[in-house]
Structure 1
Amino acid sequence: MIRAFALLATLALAACAPVQGPLPASTLPVDFLLVDKSDRTLKLFRNGEEVKSYVGLQFGASPAGHKQFEGDERTPEGLYTIDTRNPASSYHLSLRVSYPNAADRAFAEREGRDPGGDIFLHGQPNWLPSGRMVGDWTDGCIAFTNAEMEELWRLVPDGTPIEIRL
């Protein structure tokens, strides 16, 4: 009994000790995101070095080509930023991509159309208790598993540049 108490007390004190050395790479924020639609990957970078990647991304129902108009179900391509986050998302957390940019708006205006918006990195629908939807199912967003989205939520600060390419 005394040994058990001593062991518990030692463990409790060890848990309070400061962490020595740098934090693991997976806990530090990143400074650049690269989405490759053709490979269905997202790579996270810090100081020019890849620190993490995700595979099997899900896109809009028409993933080929750059998003141009509201309702085209395409995922945009180009350089944007993560400009805000939504903890109350309908899709298990979401990070908003700054689409449309000035060029996207100008193109849509020339065509007399709405460029659309509300493009997010997000998890699976909240009504889905576990698992993953099948295929490309978003309206142009980029979907991840809920566990991946929780990790992205911690690693990606607002203002992070994101490049999305084919």
Structure 2
Amino acid sequence: MRYRNLIIFGITAATSFGAILIFVRGSLKKRLIIGIVTVAALACAALFLRSPIKEAMMQVPALRPLLGKKTVSDQIQTYGEVARARLNAMFKEKGFTYPPAKLAMLAFKDKRILEVYVGSADGNFQHLHTYPVLGASGKLGPKLREGDFQVPEGVYRLESLEPNTPYHLALRLNYPNDFDLEHARIDGRSKPGSDILIHGSNGSVGCLAMGDVASEDLFVLANDTRDHNIAIIICPVDLRNFEPPPASPNDPVWLPTLYQEISKALKNYPAH
């Protein structure tokens, strides 16, 4: 239970406060002051010491500003051991060595899945695992502007690991990439959007929500992979096996070019 430690902290603080009011002698004002100081001391211990209580509090978005920002190293220290245990089991089952030399992620909107591929130093990729996408807004087709609720489509790279988001852990894509910016300029679109993440939680607007456990796996795996030039390809359908969706009158004229670019990039990753 994700909030178990936080609930325990709340019960402990409330019990301590109640006991002080009942058993400590003195005026009500004195007992209230002692109770408040005691609860504050418990809170400080939770905030400034590395503790399960603090980690539980980090799961509540409203409390995160009070807890201070974390670094990638902090989050790897917190989640690395348990995530690596899951990852090592996946690698062992496939006969792969952990950590991999290279990493790639392929997202398919129609099936709402994210396929993870690992590669050797010479670029030979093999399928490792498929995660369900728990939340993604919009429909098939590219993202065109800020606020259109669309998940982008294209050939992207991991820009950074994000240790401080309201959605547990996240991977930031380099959206908009050069293709997006060039065609936004040609179309006269000044705001193609930004802040596209693969993150935890189960709901999202314009990003891919994977759930907290999967986000831990992906965060740690991306951190541990030796080559940090990590491909992230987002597709309407699996263009290795299927034709692109039928064109509609509202599609951008450059959409076939985008799908050709995606199809070319997918050839590096054998369908399984």
TM-score by length of 1: 0.72
- Please report how far the alpha carbon of residue 56 of structure 1 lies from its aligned counterpart in structure 2 after TM superposition: 3.7
From 120, 141, 148, the counterpart of 2:214? 148
SS at match of 2:168: coil
User: How many residues are treated as equivalent by the alignment?
Assistant: 132
Greater strand content = 1
Q: Which has the higher contact order (CA 8 A, sep 6+)?
A: 1
**Do the aligned residues in 1 keep the contact of 2:136 with 2:208 (CA within 8 Å)?**
yes
**Percent identical residues:** 31
Paired residues of 2:172 and 2:196 also in contact (CA < 8 A): yes
Aligned pairs (5 A) from 1:1-166: 24=89, 25=91, 28-29=99-100, 31-47=103-119, 48-60=125-137, 62-110=138-186, 111-124=188-201, 132-133=202-203, 138-157=204-223, 158-166=228-236
CA shift for structure 1 position 65: 1.1
What is the alpha-carbon distance in structure 1 between the residues aligned to residue 111 and residue 134 of structure 2? Answer: 9
Instruction: Give RMSD over aligned pairs.
Output: 1.8
1:59 deviates by 1.1
Higher Cα radius of gyration: 2
**Gap change, CA 1:46 and 1:112, over 3 Å in 2:** closer
User: 1:31 is paired with a residue of what secondary structure?
Assistant: strand
Whichever residue aligns with residue 160 of structure 1, its letter is I
- Which residues of structure 2 form unaligned runs of 5+? 1-87, 93-97, 120-124, 237-272
Tell me the amino acid that sits aligned with residue 115 of structure 1. P
Instruction: Look up the equivalent residue of 1:104 and give its one-letter code.
Output: D
Q: Deviations over 1:56-115 (max 9, x none)?
A: 44212x132111111111001110011101111111111001110112112222323311
More helix, by proportion: 2
4+ aligned runs moved over 3 Å, structure 1: none
Alignment TM-score, normalising by the size of structure 2: 0.45
